[in-house]
Amino acid sequence: MPPGPSEPPALQTARWMLRPIAFMEACRGRFGDTFSVRFTGFRSPLVMTSDPTAIRILYSNPDNRLPPGRSFSLEPVVGSRSLLLQEGAEHLERRRLMLPQFHGQRIRAYEELVAEIVDRELERCPLDRPFAAHPHIQHATLEVILRAVFGVTDSGRLERLRRLLPQLLDSTSSTTLQLRILLARRARRESPVRKIRVLKREIGRELSSEISERRRDGTAGNRNDILSMLLVSRFEDGGAMDDPEVRDQLMTLLVAGHETTATALAWTVDLLVQNPVALARLTEELEQGEGEGYLRAVIQESLRLRPVVSLAGRRLASELVADGLVLAPGTDVTPAIWLTHTRPDLYPEPLAFRPERFLVQQPSTYGWVPFGGGVRRCLGAAFAEMEMRVVLRQLLRKRTLRAASPRPESPSRRNVTLAPRHGTRIFLSARAENRRPPVIPDPQADV
């Protein structure tokens, strides 16, 4: 195994939970691009690497499996048949069925709906006084899930899901669910899984009713929300997902697509208000309608500097050999995403917010991995990037914004994501409309 810190697993776990970036940077400084760490509750070390060659080999082998722990922490939330937990042929079959719903024309069809949701949320945001933007962004991205993914139109069901879903997400957010379960077991306290299961049962009833109504009235084929598309899609053998699996996949899309997108947007807003030159350029280009090249570059640079998920690992099915590194089958390996994104050989001035770098050259496949990679790359990556573009576009066209603090946000753990500690506090002001003076007709003109 590669070298790593010698502290007891409990201390390494505490350092990882409290200050993950500082922990990884300290390990890279002592041990180089690849090192081993030991966490409480795991029998074997975890190898972290920021070497793009090793990451390429890791992600290119479709036989590599999920590392231990994912099902332990995710299954109570998303269900046992979630795409996040499936392996092998079963996973690939589901992925092929679902992937077309998140690309091309299907994605573009949701832009108008997302813009409508963002405009409505902007009306709820206070003007000319500081406030935390992250909760408002979370509210908007949840509404996108409810309407674009779930496709719920019944007002009563919408209200119940608006109440229940945030409770479910909050119940897993203060620290990783896995650690909370372990601590509860050691202290002989009630496991947090019980509360999660109660909430999931209530949400499941609402989703099951929606699915049953959709099947019964036969409208799924005429609608473009993702739930309807899942109901009419067929596997290669002509079969379809049954209701419990559809429900699990909807929960997967909620967990994987709501909090991560909201957090990525909150970080992007923070980076923009802390870098007024980039903010001014983006605002001007959006006003002038000069395309979205710089907007896309801003999002890519934000995801590089502030990846919301730190790890996306695999358990090796075969030996991994890269640049003198040799890892045996069965080893748990993960890219250290933050360390990969801040390699000076890939990104000159790696800690600087410079969207211009992505106007010159697109990110390398294995040197920019905010969505993971290989056959388990985030299914909704294109949807998330579309959502980020629309939110930023509407925000900067409708409002001017500036930082409420001269200091950038520091990261705070929120389940598997690293979110802005203070919620991205900003000032918003209404933009003056560019109204042209009224045209006064010439009474002498020949009408």
Residue 75 predicted with pLDDT over 60: yes
Greater model confidence, 150 or 291: 150
Nearest to 394 by CA among 354, 351, 431: 431
Q: How far apart are CA 46 and CA 24, in angstroms?
A: 13
Q: How far apart are CA 106 and CA 391, in angstroms?
A: 18
Structure tokens given for 92? 């690939």
Per-residue confidence (pLDDT) for residue 434, from 0 to 100: 41
Per-residue confidence (pLDDT) for residue 432, from 0 to 100: 74
Contact criterion met (CB below 8 Å) for 399 and 119: no
Residue 21 predicted with pLDDT over 80: yes
* Least reliable range by pLDDT among 129-138, 166-175, 251-260, 369-378: 166-175
Per-residue confidence (pLDDT) for residue 249, from 0 to 100: 92
**CB neighbours of 105 closer than 8 A, spacing ≥ 6?**
none
Burial of residue 119 (number of CB atoms within 10 Å: 0-12, 13-18, 19+):
middle
**CB neighbours of 189 closer than 8 A, spacing ≥ 6?**
183
Residue 184 predicted with pLDDT over 60: no
Per-residue confidence (pLDDT) for residue 414, from 0 to 100: 75
Per-residue confidence (pLDDT) for residue 437, from 0 to 100: 43
Cα 116 to Cα 126, 133, 137, 144, distances in angstroms:
18, 18, 14, 10
* Least reliable range by pLDDT among 9-13, 100-104, 196-200: 100-104
Neighbours of 291 (CB within 10 A): 10
Contact criterion met (CB below 8 Å) for 131 and 426: yes
Greater model confidence, 146 or 102: 146
Contact criterion met (CB below 8 Å) for 134 and 419: yes
Per-residue confidence (pLDDT) for residue 436, from 0 to 100: 38
pLDDT bin (cut points 50, 70, 90) of residue 447 is very low
Residue 182 predicted with pLDDT over 60: no
Return phi, psi of residue 153, to 5°: -120, -20
pLDDT by residue (tens digit) across 414-446? 767 889 999 999 999 998 764 334 445 554 444
* Least reliable range by pLDDT among 36-45, 97-106, 247-256, 402-411: 97-106
Q: How far apart are CA 39 and CA 259, in angstroms?
A: 25
**CB neighbours of 435 closer than 8 A, spacing ≥ 6?**
none
Per-residue confidence (pLDDT) for residue 435, from 0 to 100: 38
pLDDT averaged over every residue in the chain: 88
Per-residue confidence (pLDDT) for residue 362, from 0 to 100: 87
pLDDT bin (cut points 50, 70, 90) of residue 69 is low
Maximum distance among all Cα pairs of the chain, rounded to whole angstroms = 91
pLDDT by residue (tens digit) across 307-342? 998 889 999 999 999 988 999 999 999 999 999 999
* Least reliable range by pLDDT among 130-139, 167-176, 185-194, 326-335: 185-194
Full-model pTM: 0.90
User: What CATH topology corresponds to 50-430?
Assistant: Cytochrome p450 (1.10.630)
Q: What residues does each domain of the chain span?
A: 50-430
Residue 175 predicted with pLDDT over 80: no
Nearest to 429 by CA among 111, 128, 78: 128
The dihedral sign for the CA sequence 263, 266, 268, 271: negative
pLDDT by residue (tens digit) across 104-117? 788 888 999 999 99
Question: Could you identify the residue written with the tokens 């590392």?
Answer: 67
Q: How far apart are CA 348 and CA 366, in angstroms?
A: 17
pLDDT by residue (tens digit) across 359-405? 998 888 999 999 999 999 999 999 999 999 999 999 999 999 999 99
Per-residue confidence (pLDDT) for residue 185, from 0 to 100: 53
pLDDT bin (cut points 50, 70, 90) of residue 189 is low
Opening angle at CA 346, ends 364 and 328, nearest 5: 75
